[in-house]
A and B are shown apart, each in its own frame.
Chain A
Amino acid sequence: MVPGSISAERWEQLYRLEFARVYRALLAVLRDPDRALDALQDAFVAGLRRPPAEDLDLAGWLFVVAIRSGRRGLGRKLLGLDHARSQISKDEIKASLDRIEVGRLLAGLSERQRAMVVAQFYLGLDHREIARHFGVKTGTVSATLAQAKARMRTEVRNAS
């Protein structure tokens, strides 16, 4: 559990522990290294201001807060300065995502579907946890994931 009085240092430690996993999950969903980094940093600051009630699925919390931030941040590019700092080119990432099978499958999904698929299959959240984090009903998660999986199956079938 993360107590309400968690120190900034402790929060940064927890954040760093989960950074790589959540960043990769965000890359798979947002498909943009700058957006992924910005969104995850937003989640870090959000956690500093008000840490999650518990850290049992800290990665899931960071992921969903970052996804929300990533959606808000679509129109804000911070004067283009962040591109210089990420040091990973978008082309590189896109090429990596297109090269891997998972990346190709996710590309055919909506961002919301990608987020739930990645939350389940990469971050290991169950339907109930995804529903709680995303603020939707469990049935909505099940339906969204069913549609996403059906689409991925079709994609695989077409490719083979």
Chain B
Amino acid sequence: MLPELSIERVFRRELEALPVPDAGLWVPNRRAGFPLMLALSVAGAALVLVVAAIGLVRETSGAATQPRGAATAPPSLQPSATCEPPAYGANGRCFMFLPNLVRNEAFGYNLMIPGEWHEAQMPPGTEPFVRDRPTADPALTAPFLLDRRVFTGRATWDWVAPTDNRAPAWDLDVQVWDRQGRTALEWSRTFGPCDPAVRTFGSTGCVPTMDTIRGATFVVTTVNSISGYTTVSYYLARGDHMLILRYSTDPNVAPPLGFTRATLEGIVHAIGLV
């Protein structure tokens, strides 16, 4: 048995023997020193960020005049003038994470999310209409949620868990349902935010359109509330499933630094369907 008083000494002695990477690798990969081969390998992924960055530039002036939400305090450090968010400056260099590929083999889609994004865990009880656990609001009996993943650009300590089944504003909510023979358009009118029965969203201003992404035609609905809260939903019927990508924007809640609605659109439009 390890005598308790010597455990710390043993830990220090033994763990100090473990190798560490070269000091040049300690700080995340920098744009300046990014090897060409790596850059080529992730060119497709980088394209998503470029799309997001273009949107960012367009919205910069508008975002600067918007009120900052209480949910997300501005970070203490602002990116340097020469680094375009979400890249950050340190010691005169710009760096950023590589995008992450999220594979959902079970339901046949891939997403490329920015490197700082991660999956958020929705609290138990906020899943809408789970199989074998139907809820009463709204009263649905046929459709069942098969899979749900919520992605956020907020740090763990910044992410505020919702109390209802809506993902927080500026997060991306990806759901797969048993579609029970309904088309995407029917679904959007019956079970989505355009459903008049879903009082929390309201049906005013619901605008359905079509969007072709990588050869697949999505039904897209945009619902605007009087307060400026906007919910955008993409619906795609695939076999027995209904794939839904949904996000909301809220003028009273600041998006994660460096990300905008264009980021969310970029993620949605880069979806891979397999």
With a CB–CB cut-off of 8 A, which chain B residues contact A44?
A: 26-28
Q: Which residues of B contact A20 (CB under 8 A)?
A: 20
Residues of A within 8 Å of B158, CB to CB, are 50
The answer for the CA separation of A102 and B12 in the assembled complex, in Å, is: 10
Q: Are A23 and B20 in contact (CB under 8 A)?
A: yes
CB contacts (< 8 Å) of B2 on chain A: these are: 101, 105, 152-153, 156
Question: How extensive is the interface on chain A, given as a class?
Answer: 35 or more
Which residue from A24, A42, A78 sits with its C-beta under 8 Å from B18?
A24
A49 and B91 alpha carbons, distance in the complex (Å)? 15
User: Contacts A79-B42, A81-B38, A86-B25; is A72 near B118 (CB within 8 Å)?
Assistant: yes
Chain A residues 90-120 with CB under 8 Å of chain B are: 92-93, 96-97, 100-103, 105, 118
Q: In the complex, which residues of chain A have a beta carbon less than 8 angstroms from the beta carbon of B19?
A: 88, 92-93, 96
Q: Does B139 contact A (CB under 8 A)?
A: no
Asked if A28 CB lies within 8 Å of chain B CBs, one says yes
Q: Report whether A156 and B1 are in contact in the complex, using a CB–CB cutoff of 8 Å.
A: yes
Interface status of B76 (Cβ within 8 A of chain A): yes
Greatest chain B CB density within 10 A among A5, A8, A69, A118 is at A8
B119 in complex: contacting residue of A33, A40, A72, CB < 8 Å = A72
Interface presence of B10 (CB below 8 A): yes
A4 proximity list for chain B (CB < 8 A)? 76
Chain B residues, Cβ within 8 Å of A8? 77, 80, 88-91
Identify the stretch in B98-106, B183-191, B205-213 within 8 Å (CB) of chain A at 4 or more residues.
B98-106
Shortest Cβ distance from residue A160 to the other chain B in the assembled complex, whole angstroms:
8
Q: Which residue of B lies closest to A153 (CB)?
A: B1
> Does any Cβ of A come within 8 Å of B16's Cβ?
yes
**Nearest chain B CB to A133's CB is how many angstroms away?**
11
**Contact status of A12 and B11, CB under 8 A, knowing A49-B257, A79-B98:** no
Residue-wise, chain A 122-160 has the 8 Å CB interface mask toward B (1 for contact) of 101000000000000000000000000100110011000
Please tell me if A58 contacts chain B, counting CB pairs below 8 Å.
Answer: no
Q: Note all chain B residues with C-beta closer than 8 A to A75.
A: 102
The smallest beta-carbon distance between A104 and chain B, in angstroms, is 10
Distance in angstroms from A50 CB to nearest chain B CB is 5
Contacts of A78 in B (CB 8 A): 98, 100-101, 115
Chain A residues with CB below 8 A from B10, complex form: 101-102
Residues of A within 8 A of B20 (CB): 19-20, 23-24
* In contact, A11 and B90 (Cβ under 8 angstroms): yes
Q: Which residue of B lies closest to A27 (CB)?
A: B18
A96 to chain B, nearest CB (A): 6
Q: A88 to B115, alpha carbons, bound, how many Å?
A: 23
List the A side residues contacting B126 at CB < 8 Å: none
| B239, CB-defined interface residue at 8 Å | no
Q: How far is the CA of A25 from the CA of B21 in the complex (A)?
A: 14
Interface contact A16-B100, CB-CB below 8 Å = no
CA distance A75 to B158 in the complex (A): 22
Q: CA separation between A116 and B156, bound complex, in Å?
A: 19
Expressed in whole angstroms, the minimum distance between the Cβ of B160 and any Cβ of chain A is: 15
Q: List 9 A-B contacts (CB under 8 A).
A: A5-B76, A9-B90, A28-B15, A46-B155, A49-B77, A72-B156, A79-B101, A87-B25, A122-B8
B residues contacting A by CB (< 8 A) are 1-2, 4, 7-8, 10-12, 14-23, 25-29, 38, 41-42, 45, 75-77, 80, 88-91, 97-98, 100-102, 115-116, 118-119, 155-156, 158, 257
